[in-house]
């Protein structure tokens, strides 16, 4: 392990994932991170990408989960049963500066 921390059993691991990746005291250059179901949230997916990490959570009951994609894409037709809709990219664009400020703030 490169980082460990005791957490309350009621907390989701996802709230602590970035702490371990950004503030570990090892010489490791971590590029990819795996978690179990409790170790991911939609927000963490976005932040991991913005901070330069490949994120690969193991999501239990993924068949009951709905994925959201940037736009309708015929290439994703095999995922149709899992797609719940499209992402509102206008909201992201409108708040992009604040999103980058948040990611930079977390990283520093």
pTM above 0.95, yes or no: no
Q: How far apart are CA 34 and CA 58, in angstroms?
A: 7
Residue 44's contacts (CB-CB under 8 Å, 6 or more residues apart) are 14, 17, 18, 55
| E strand or H helix at 67 | strand 67-69
pLDDT of residue 69: 86
Query: Mind listing the pLDDT tens digit of every residue in the chain (108 residues)?
Result: 777 777 776 667 777 788 878 887 888 788 887 777 666 777 888 888 898 888 888 877 877 878 888 887 778 888 888 888 888 999 999 999 999 999 999 888
pLDDT of residue 10: 65
Q: Which two tokens stand for residue 85?
A: 């809709």
Residue 89's contacts (CB-CB under 8 Å, 6 or more residues apart) are 70, 71
Return the SS3 of 83.
strand
- Domain positions in the chain are 1-63, 66-108
């Amino acid at each position: 392990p490169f980082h460990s921390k005791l957490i309350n059993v009621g907390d989701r691991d996802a709230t602590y994932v970035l702490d371990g990746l950004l503030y570990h005291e090892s010489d490791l250059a971590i590029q990819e991170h795996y978690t179990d179901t409790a170790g991911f949230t939609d927000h963490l997916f976005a932040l991991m990408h913005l901070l330069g990490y490949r994120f690969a959570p193991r999501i239990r009951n993924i068949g009951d989960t709905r994925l959201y994609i940037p736009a309708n894409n015929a290439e994703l037709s095999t995922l149709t049963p899992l797609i719940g809709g499209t992402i509102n990219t206008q909201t992201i664009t409108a708040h992009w500066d604040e999103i980058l400020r948040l990611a930079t703030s977390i990283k520093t």
